[in-house]
Amino acid sequence: MAVKLVANYSKRLGLPGYSSHQFSVTVESELHNTDNVSIEAARLYKTLQMAVDKEIQSTGFVPDEAYGINPTASTAPKLTVTRRDEPERPWRASDKQRELILKLVHDSAVDMATVEELALEMFDTGDLPSLNKIQASGLIDELLTRYGKKNRRETAPTPAWKARAR
C-alpha cells in the first residue's frame, strides 16, 4: 500500500509601507513504505525551502509609504504631467495654468519639445512642471503670441520678454 506524503513550505516577508508578499509551494510524494518517511520529509522540506527562498527574492512592485492613502479634498495633489521616461510629478503652477498650457500645445499642434525649448530660453529650465505661477503666466503669454488663434502668423514677432531684457 502506497502512502502519500504532502509537504508545503510557505514564507511571507514584510515590505515597506505595511506591505508584504508571500510564496508557497506544495508537493505530494508517494512512498512505498513507511520506513523512510522522516528521510523523505527532510528531503522535501529542504527542496521546498530552497525553491521558495530562491523565488521570493524577486519582490516585484513595492509601494511607497503613501500608497493607497486616499487624499482628502484639502490635501489633493496638484495635476501632474506624465512623460514616457519619467514618473508623474506635480506642477508648481496652478491647475488652470497647466490646463491652458496643455490646451495651447494641443490646439496649435506644436511639439511639446518646442514648448520646453521656449521655457528653457525664457526661464533657464525646460521642465514645465517646475515652472512657478509667474513663469507659467509668461509662458502662456508667449504661447498665445506665437500660436494663439487670433495672432497666428508665419513669423512670430519679437517676444515681449526679450524686448524687456534688452
d(CA 43, CA 5): 12
Give me 23's grid cell: 510564496
pLDDT in tens, the chain (166 residues): 688 889 999 998 887 766 788 889 899 988 888 888 889 899 999 999 998 888 888 777 776 666 666 654 444 444 444 455 555 678 889 989 999 998 888 888 888 889 999 999 998 888 889 899 999 999 999 999 988 765 445 455 666 666 665 5
Contact between 128 and 90 under an 8 Å Cβ cutoff? The reply is no
Query: What values do phi and psi take at 4, rounded to 5?
Result: -95, 135
pLDDT at 68 (0 to 100):
62
pTM recorded for the entire structure: 0.41
